[in-house]
Chains A and B, each alone.
Chain A
Amino acid sequence: MKILISGGRVLDPTHGIDDQLDLLIDNGRISHLGKNLQAEGAQVIDARGKLVTPGLIDLHVHLRDPGQEYKEDIVSGTRAAVAGGFTAVACMPNTKPVNDSKSVTRYILAKAAAEGFCHVLPVGSITQGSKGEALAEMGDMKEAGCVGFSDDGHPVASGELMRRALEYSRPFGVPIIAHAEDLDLVGQGVMNEGFVATELGLKGIPWVAEAAPIARDVMLAEFTGGHLHVAHVSCGAAVEIIRAAKKRGVRVTCEAAPHHFTLTDEAVRGYNTNAKMNPPLRSAEDVAAIRAGLADGTIDAIATDHAPHHIDEKNVEFNIAFNGIVGLETALPLTLRLVADGVLSLCDAIAKLTINPARILGLESGTLEVGRVADVTVIDPELKWTVEAQKLVSKSKNTPFDGWKMVGAATHTLVAGRISYQR
């Protein structure tokens, strides 16, 4: 089975390729990249006027499987992923049961292999049950296929345990992904602390509740030499801490979510529960700092923190609504807005969705190198469309972008050489 993607603008940030080229896929792998390729009997994808990029990688999603399949499952979540142009997603371990053992990891991988639409990269928990008390069997889970470790949704409150996690994971070559949150400082907070929270009479979550534990974790990474990846950075102070640490040579990487570089806490007005997530939407200054961090490379990757919730969990009073929004199907156009706004070059934007997350997780993917598994995304950068929450592929519809006019979408998502999605 051959597929020829012809006439597109091929972008491969790893090799500095930005040229009109044909790309030939044979037997699931990239076999040729060049001008005017001919391939007898190949299925042809006409990519003229489109971008051809390495398959997008989202290093932070919640597939809710096992245990909360009423929100999302591995099938619906990966179907949403490919509709958004993603060929691989790293799924967080806060499932029921928690992915804290190789048996859960194997379940996820087996179901993904049998029924999934894209690669699924399990993230195991740092601690048993994500309870923050004792290390989980990271070695075993790495062997079973986990690509990183995180107690996402819960911080590792103990500095001692975080230190040991960074030390223990180091020889296995996998990152510790920090969900940084000081729960004492968060208290009963439900949105960003600031003027909007004051007006709405909602309890605030101060940025220092995120930045202070990041400062601790960065120092622990410096001390241990372990690889720290900071999830969903949302405030300017955190960007500054990570920027300074990188200058010192600390092994720290980080990601930001599209909603954190697109929306401010003003979106909460009207008590909009689809603007409620953790970390919360921050101030305009924070959004500017996230964008600056993306621009200067402090923020390595863009990751969605795709967090599906059932309508019954959102259609309630603001203070009891669940945290999180879906993001897989809106991440690409929101990232392209950064290009339109002059924050990122197109090449850098694609790198933050491909090779950078691949490097963070130690993957071979993220490039269009000949011989590699053919994970490829074809993007129409001019396609205009409107987000309709009820038409999202994800089982859950909790998006703050309902009704937004978007520019740019994946038209073909190829996973291991097969067309998993076609618009």
Chain B
Amino acid sequence: MNFRHKHILGIEQLSADDIRFILDTADSFKEINSRDIKKVPTLRGKTIVNLFFEASTRTRTSFEIAGKRLSADTINITASSSSVVKGETLEDTAKNIEAMKPDIIVMRHAASGACHYLAERVDCSIINAGDGAHEHPSQALLDMLTIRQHKGRLEGLKVAIVGDITHSRVARSNLYGLTRMGAEVRLAGPGTMVPPGIERMGAKVFNDMREAIAGADVVMMLRIQLERQGKTLLPTLREYAKFYGLNTENLKLAAPDALVMHPGPVNRGVELSSYVADGAQSVILDQVENGVAVRMALLYLVLGGEQAQ
């Protein structure tokens, strides 16, 4: 098939065929990552700018390695968000970078919709590396790749996503992707962290985390960020861990071969007990590994790569 997306702004814009094609392409790139010489000339002469307005170690490094393994020149820019009245506007920042003729801008920004805003104003490809609480498409794709790798399929699986749904771009992107691929998505989280209308996006919402993970094939835990989410949403992390943390006990409710996932970084003892994070069912490091392959696939495909190599 032909991949017709110039930008990757969100999973919302991708069809099931698109997702399958990206995952297949990523699969074909995985082999490169285990070679002695981990580099192919596919994107030689291409320039990729990683424009990050929010701190990120994992995602930025992953995109940078993905670009370098495809022989693209990658440049990292850490920028700070501006207000309307002071600082350079996002449009000006982007246009200045664009004037240096990059082929792709990979952007992370704290404002939901920032990547859509950019895509309407610049000519190069935009890949969303996370916009506010909206989407984080490469994360959802690497999650789906990891699930498919272990389960052989996505269709028909029961996937529980637990934690702060309201502020999670990971949850939204996975919700779009997994439902589109035929999986059942179950959500649970504190009453202050489940946004209104989320069931209209195709999810089943449970009050009790234990009901959500009962019989689940995948348990995906979300990172809790108390500093970002404000003091009114939770009493304490201790109580959060008690009701919404995954431990060896409640994990028994899930299918015996259930996968444990987390987009990282993990707050040990909060979202996950260390036993679970490091346990046999945890695929957290597979997620990170697959992240490079998925991002190689995205960089390759938005620049017009037509078939998996």
Contacts and interface: CB of A to CB of B under 8 A. Distances in A.
A198 B83 CA distance: 24
A198 B134 CA distance: 8
Contacts of A196: 197
Given A312-B84, A316-B89, A319-B132, A198 B198 contact: yes
A199 B83 CA distance: 24
Interface in A139-197: 187, 193-197
Contact of A202 (B113, B117, B197): B113
Contact of A271 (B117, B166, B230): B117
A317 interface: yes
A315 interface: yes
B16 interface: no
Given A315-B91, A317-B90, A317-B114, A198 B201 contact: yes
Contacts of A313: 84
Nearest to A187: B230
A40 to B, nearest CB: 58
A313 to B, nearest CB: 5
B196 A201 contact: no
Contact of A318 (B112, B195, B200): B112
Nearest to B133: A201
A204 B197 CA distance: 12
Contacts, number: 74
Given A195-B196, A321-B84, A202 B132 contact: yes
A327 to B, nearest CB: 21
Contacts of A198: 166, 195-198, 201
Size category of the A interface is: 20 to 34
A322 B83 CA distance: 11
Nearest to A193: B196
Interface residues of B, number: 28
Contact of B196 (A194, A318, A319, A321): A194
A365 to B, nearest CB: 38
Contacts of A320: 83-84, 111
Interface in B9-55: none
A110 interface: no
Nearest to A322: B84
Interface string A21-40: 00000000000000000000
A200 interface: yes
Interface in B198-221: 198, 200-201
Contacts of B134: 200-202
Given A313-B84, A320-B84, A200 B113 contact: yes
Given A200-B134, A201-B132, A318 B111 contact: yes
Interface string A294-316: 00000000000000000011011
B169 interface: yes
B113 A318 contact: yes
Interface centre among A193, A197, A201, A204 (most CB of B within 10 A): A201
A249 interface: no
A193 B192 CA distance: 13
Given A201-B134, A201-B169, A317 B198 contact: no
Interface string B109-137: 10111101100000000000001111100
A200 B197 contact: no
Contacts of A202: 112-113, 132-134
Contacts of A197: 195-196
A317 B83 contact: no
A204 B133 CA distance: 12
Nearest to B136: A201
B172 interface: yes
A270 interface: yes
The list of the 6 closest CB pairs from A to B, nearest first, reads: A195-B197, A201-B134, A271-B113, A201-B133, A317-B111, A201-B112
Given A198-B201, A312-B84, A318-B111, 13 more contacts: A195-B197, A195-B200, A197-B196, A201-B131, A201-B172, A204-B195, A271-B116, A313-B84, A317-B111, A317-B117, A319-B132, A320-B111, A322-B84
